[in-house]
Amino acid sequence: MAAVLSNPGTDGGAGLRIKKRWILLPAVALLVFVFIRSLGKPPSIADNSYLLVDVRGAYAEGGPPGLLTRLLEDRKRFEDLLSNLEKAARDKRIDGVVVKIGALATGWGQASEIRDALAEVRAADKKVIAFLNGESFGGNQEYYLASAADEIYMPPAASSLLNGLSAHYLFLGGFWEKVDIAMEVQQIGEYKTFGDMISRRQMSKAHHDMANSLLDDVNLEFLSTLAQTRGLTIPELEEIIESGPFSPEAFVEAGLADGVKFLDQLRDDLGADKPAVFVTEREYQRIPRESLGLGGGDKVAIIHAAGVLVTGKSRRSSGMGETVGSHTLSEALQAAAQDTSVKAIVLRIDSPGGSPHAADEVWYAVRRTRTDKPVIASMGNVAASGGYYIAAAADEIMVDPMTLTGSIGVVMYKPNIAGLLGRLGIGNESLSRGKFSRLMDITKGLNRAETALLSDQMEAIYRLFTQRVSEGRNMETQAVDSLGKGRVWTGTQAVENGLADQTGGLRAAVRRAASKAGVADLDRVETVYFPKPGGLTDQLMDAGAVKAQAIVPKAWQSIIEAAPFLELQPGVYTLVAPSPVIR
């Protein structure tokens, strides 16, 4: 009989954990108390004040974090920014908004939504002034955002450039050769460029055509928006860009800016006898929406699908970035459907895709939810491949003109690391039973029978994908296939070809969802978020994951988030290649 060895440290370890918990709880309680005291009552806002908004870096998509998470992490939420601007447009004490624009690390979809929110402030007869810091060389996206303002100012040492857009793509085919890894890739659709990124050294013709189409469409939106707001024609603007304005004075001379001054000077100019009162975002966030005639009415639930789609629970990880789990989304949809106070649902998507099984599970959950309440899909920076798959189940799809979406296709990759192991002096042997038992063995290549089996599986997934889109969008499967083949579209193109219904951001999607539910007072719509924040342990883990992810260079995060192949795990995915960096 096998001996069972007891662990002499088990009881002591349990006692130690209990002691640690009792030590942790008072510390957490103290933090919570200090945080609540810091909130206090809403701040007093003086008449003729200006909301000072500092737009820089990245903005997280997602519902409000739990109290502990807010204490331990410092992430800027996209919805908080939109809410502050919406309140400022209604607040009679606020004369306008001064937006300081630093180096952005967001996508064009979010940048466009922020710009629209600033335009709504202007439409409410409030002044919007942009202060373009120009902290780094380049600045196309930053200037695009600034162009929403009535006036644009720059500090004397600003180093912004308006140098035109370009798109950058990475191809890893040569890398695998260097490390003796044979990467086998199959894909459904000549435009499914995730496979190209893994296996090729350069663009295919289809990839080149699609990339040019995307860049042309984003560039047209970029140029036409700037030309209209600065009173220029597109040819005049193109001529200015070709001249490469590089100094604040050059921007002013070209009609792109209205003056060169420091922020304090701008503040002095906005005031009458004394400097204008600036209200910070953190202060203004404490102003209740209800006090300005916003919210407090019928509820619309917002459910976020931000990250790579995986089967199971959502999680944050420094390895794959943020993932969105099919079980988490399905449970959130069910909870919102069963909540009698919720009138409609907005599914906010910012995802490059992921597991086809996960996407289909969420697709079914959305379709089931639609029988109870309206579901509007709202697309952020990217909602492609599996991200589009789940959107297709909604009643309607709303996109930003610069959203990247579509990519209806499937890709399979399988690394063979036998060469790398040999180079490292690592031997390996395998024993198997069955013809396909070593199908996913990463120490061998695929044989003809295995390749055929995987091809059949991928074809079946693609047929199901097109069928799901066909059902959701009321299109013939042949029409879906003609728009599919892995091709990515901008939001504008998606509306034109029927893959989306209309352009509009998150706030517009909330109003549309409420309208479909028969809500009369759209201004009073109250947004609630599903799923609710987790418990103490979940919040601690989330905060730690965010801190770990923050050390990963931003330039690589889009690749990491869309590339589980970095873990060398073979599989079939509905992923789109990492979004091109269009700057």
Rounded distance, CA 152 to CA 142, Å? 12
What's the rounded Cα separation, in Å, for the pair 129 and 259? 11
3 state DSSP class of 151 = strand
Calculate the alpha carbon distances from 91 to 114, 119, 209, 287, 291 in Å.
Answer: 18, 16, 48, 10, 9
- Cα–Cα distance measured from residue 162 to residue 180, given in angstroms and rounded to the nearest whole number: 43
CA 495 to chain centre: 20
Cβ burial, residue 138 (10 Å; 0-12/13-18/19+): middle
Cα angle value 181/187/191 (rounded, 5°): 115
Catalytic residue among 199, 385, 407, 579: 385
DSSP 576: P
**Which residue reads 């450039």 in tokens?**
161
Report the alpha-carbon distance of residue 92 to residue 48 in Å, rounded: 8
CA dist 165 and 579 (Å) reads 14
Alpha-carbon separation of residue 271 from 32, 150, 278 (angstroms): 38, 17, 10
Encode burial over 197-234: b for 16+ CB neighbours within 10 A, e otherwise.
Answer: bbbbeebeebbeebbeebbebbbebbbebbbebbebee
Other C-beta atoms lying within 10 Å of the C-beta of residue 514: 26
CA–CA gap between residue 241 and residue 162 (Å, rounded): 6
| Cβ contact 351:109 at 8 Å | no
345 and 517 Cβ atoms separated by less than 8 Å: no
**Do residues 380 and 61 touch, judged by C-beta distance below 8 A?**
yes
Task: Calculate the CA 109 to chain-centre distance.
Answer: 8
385 is catalytic: yes
The set of catalytic residues is 385
